[in-house]
Amino acid sequence: MDPAYPPEVTRVSFRRYIAHLADGVLATLLFLVVAIPAGIVSDVLLGIAFLLFVTVGQVAYFVLFQRGSGKSPGKRLVGIRVVDAAGATPSTGALIRRSIPLIVEYFYILAWASMMASRYRQRFGDRWGKTYVVDD
């Protein structure tokens, strides 16, 4: 189903990259709050914290921040938001589906390639979650 707006509204690729970078910095700072004490206690705890951060933590960060408004702190910073085809904030399930591929796409090379091949500039996760990133 195509969205109820023209593809031009989704041409925010550079701002998406900046938003993702800002979110990565914030998520890393949150990780350090857990990782430093974990590393002091045990290398095993540090390893577990890291594994959780790059998997569950990444998904949770984006889902929790975007659930209310479609905006993570990085998206808020650059004036973009995530929407569904009707222009509303996506459901929690859609946000989970769009966030899971970030585990692989995190450095944004695959994400950028998939966005450039998409009429609505969608990453693989956006296509799976049926979401769009638009100018706010």
1 has pLDDT over 80: no
Reported as a single tens digit per residue, the pLDDT across 63-105 is: 999 999 999 999 999 999 999 999 999 999 999 999 999 888 7
Reported as a single tens digit per residue, the pLDDT across 108-119 is: 788 888 898 999
Boundaries of every domain in the chain: 7-135
Q: What pLDDT sits at residue 113?
A: 87
State the CB neighbour count (10 A cutoff) for residue 131.
Answer: 27
Burial of 24 (0-12, 13-18, 19+ CB in 10 A): middle
Q: What pLDDT sits at residue 110?
A: 84
Question: What's the angle, vertex CA 17, arms to CA 11 and CA 23, rounded to 5?
Answer: 130
Q: What pLDDT sits at residue 133?
A: 96
Q: What pLDDT sits at residue 106?
A: 63
**Mean pLDDT across 52-73:** 95
Percent of the chain whose predicted confidence (pLDDT) is above 90: 77
Q: Token digits for 54?
A: 């790059």
Q: Average pLDDT over the chain, rounded to whole?
A: 92
| 2-7: Cβ within 8 A, 24+ apart | 2/85, 2/120, 3/83, 3/84, 3/85, 3/86, 3/87, 3/120, 3/132, 4/85, 4/86, 4/87, 5/87, 5/134, 7/119, 7/120, 7/121
